[in-house]
Amino acid sequence: MEPALSPIRSHHVAVIGAGPAGLVAARELRREGHSVVVFEKQKQVGGTWIYTDEVESDPLSVDPTRSVVHSSVYRSLRINGTRECTGYRDYPFVVRSGVSESRDPRRYPSHGEVLAYLKDFAREFGIEEMVRFETEVVKVPPAAEGEIGKWRVESTEKEKRVRRDEIYDAVVVCNGHYVEPRLAEIPGISSWPGKEMHSHNYCIPEPFKDQVVVLIGNSSSAEDISRDIATFAKEVHVACRSNPADTFIKQTGYNNLWTHSSIECVHEDGSVVFQNGKTISVDIIMHCTGYKYHFPFLDTNGIVSVDDNRVGPLYKDVFPPAFAPWLSFIGIPWQVLPFPMFELQSKWIAGVLSGRIPLPSKEDMIMEIKTFYSTLEFQGIPKRYTHRMGNTQFEYDNWLASQCGCSETEEWRKEMCLANVVRKEAHPETYRDEWEDHHLISQAYQDFST
């Protein structure tokens, strides 16, 4: 365990979730000298990277009474970014010698290797001693009405059936956003007789044997799962609204996998009609359409809300001005290198809480958020894409680094990330096993060894 620094001010902080965001948040908060309790619903660290073959009773995951499965990982999943880019900045995701578990040394390893890395990280920095496992956070309201700066955290410990009601100075929300599915709207779906499901509940391809399956979406999961299922299914059709209306492409290397434009409608005879005019009789429709941000425990009286998948208002995607710095969120942006960003967000939050790093005034934060929203509107970017970053992530990360007194994102990491995106688009089937950026790998490992 690392010694904590002597801070300007030390606070009692609740971290919700022990996945990749919660683990590094706990480390950075303790490094800054805060006392930390991490609440984790599952039996182990790792969050969404904990694979299970359990699926939810409702295949669409919309029934509020369902037993929720946290993980969205499927059996064949391999990461879609390189090892070198994936890891935390000061704890690289490298093949480690002297570990007893069976490990996956590939550059784009399986989900199991990511989980093992997160467990290594937790062990290295003594994080598990801060975690209350199998403990669900039920409600988080301000401790007293009208009082900013104290939070009541109500939690239930599963095994001992203990219910706690505690006061914390600050709450850091790290509960992930791969649990509450978004679904596509399909005209005629209420009378369509086939089976619908969300990719959240996909684990293995065998149950799709001899079925005709339509997947909706153009995400990495849609690409991976369509190829996974094609080895067993009779036919697989991928519908994507970003494709031109006349799209109808047979995928190279497959005799049963096609890409279409979006679905026009479905009929009660089981048929699915695509915008390209094709009509197919279908057994299963799988929504690979992403997820909604969901904070069922958070009670801010509507001050922080989720509107069309915009979590707001948030200053720099982290602090709601009305509650800053006593309430914060890690991991809201998407289309990013998540672990390094979580690390920088965590350092920023920890330093702001101790008083070492200043925040703008509440009014200035609100003004910046309004300006940002106006810019998105002017650019025609839908509200649901508020937190999508892509190439702007490095500017954001560098801003965080400047606040924390850290070095900017390494050039090799930026170049490698962009090269990966290009290769993935050009060669979606082989990019994980064939690459040419050996000079960037050398630079990365040179960095790791210093």
Q: Are 152 and 140 in contact (CB under 8 A)?
A: yes
Give pLDDT tens digits along the chain (450 positions).
544 444 478 999 999 999 999 999 999 999 999 999 999 999 999 999 999 999 999 999 999 889 888 899 999 999 999 999 999 999 999 987 766 556 899 999 999 999 999 999 999 999 999 999 999 999 999 998 756 679 999 999 987 788 999 999 999 999 998 889 999 999 999 999 999 999 999 999 999 999 999 999 988 899 999 999 999 999 999 999 999 999 999 998 999 999 999 999 999 999 999 999 999 999 999 999 999 999 999 999 999 999 999 999 999 999 999 999 999 999 999 999 999 999 999 999 999 999 999 999 999 999 999 999 999 999 999 999 999 999 999 999 999 999 999 999 999 999 999 999 999 999 989 999 999 999 999 999 999 998
Choose the CATH number for 189-287 among 3.60.21.10, 3.10.50.40, 3.50.50.60, 3.20.20.70. Answer: 3.50.50.60
Q: Are 213 and 236 in contact (CB under 8 A)?
A: yes
What's the pTM value of the predicted model, to 2 decimals? 0.94
By 3-state DSSP, what share of the chain in percent is helix, strand and coil, each rounded to 5? 30, 20, 50
The per-residue pLDDT for 5 is 46
The per-residue pLDDT for 14 is 98
Q: How far apart are CA 306 and CA 225, in angstroms?
A: 29
Choose the CATH number for 12-179+291-411 among 3.40.50.300, 3.50.50.60, 3.20.20.450, 3.30.70.1400. Answer: 3.50.50.60
Q: Which helix (H) or strand (E) holds 249?
A: strand 248-250
Contacting residues for 277 by C-beta, under 8 A, at least 6 apart: none
The per-residue pLDDT for 366 is 98
Q: How far apart are CA 49 and CA 33, in angstroms?
A: 29
For the chain, the structural domain boundaries read 12-179+291-411, 189-287
12-179+291-411 and 189-287, same CATH topology = yes
The per-residue pLDDT for 102 is 65
Q: How far apart are CA 151 and CA 170, in angstroms?
A: 6
CA of residue 241 relative to chain centroid, distance: 22
Name the CA dihedral angle for 434, 436, 440, 446, rounded to a multiple of 10 degrees: 70
The per-residue pLDDT for 6 is 47
Q: Are 395 and 416 in contact (CB under 8 A)?
A: no
Distances (CA, A) of 77 to 204, 205, 233, 263: 10, 12, 18, 26
Q: Using N-to-C axis directions, what is the helix angle for 338-354 and 393-404, rounded to 10°?
A: 30
CA angle 350, 353, 354 (to 5 degrees): 90
